[in-house]
Amino acid sequence: MGLDVKTVHLLRILPTIFIGEVNGLATAAGNEILVQCDMRFAGPWAHFGALEVANGILHGNGGAQYLTHLIGPGRALEYLLSVNDVDAKTAEQYGWVNRAYCSAAELRREVDALAERIALWLAGGLNATKVSVRENDLAQAGLDRDLQRFKYLLSREEAQ
């Protein structure tokens, strides 16, 4: 794993909740970072895409895999192979971003309010929830790990 891949991979494994806020271009490496954030929000001037194929390469830092997870293989291939951008509203419809806002002020206000609300909660619950959602494991082993996390967090003094 190269240094770039390891750095971007930290977005997934660090206990910090990463919220992407875009109101401009998020293409190439910018898109690769964005799709690995825990949540993504867009303003009216946001555009998303990947230009790597036009240069004979691919979206290499996990961008293709994470984009596929967000919007499905057919749509991911449509944008990755055509090197076309997608606007904020379309990105919202496809699941590329959580929500698209009509103004930059609304984007900033809503994302700040979300971050402030999340900051109210205990880190243990936030971190365990991020790990559980990222695992996305419906097999019994995944459900058992969630139950173990729940029991551990419930036993902590701060949760009592």
Question: Could you report the per-residue pLDDT of 69-79, keeping only the tens digit for each?
Answer: 899 999 999 99
Q: Annotated catalytic residue: which of 32, 110, 157, 158?
A: 32
pLDDT range class, residue 145, cuts 50, 70, 90: confident
Tell me whether residue 55 is exposed, middle or buried, using C-beta atoms within 10 angstroms of its C-beta: 0 to 12, 13 to 18, 19 or more.
exposed
135 catalytic, yes or no?
Answer: no
**pLDDT (0 to 100) of residue 1:** 44
pLDDT score of 34 more than 50: yes
Please check whether the domain covering 3-118 is classified as CATH 3.40.30.10: no
Q: Could you give the angle at which helices 63-71 and 73-82 cross, rounded to 10 degrees?
A: 130
Distance of CA 51 to the CA centre of its chain: 20
158 catalytic, yes or no?
Answer: no
The tokens describing 49, both together, are: 């895409």
The tokens describing 36, both together, are: 């690995």
**pLDDT (0 to 100) of residue 160:** 72
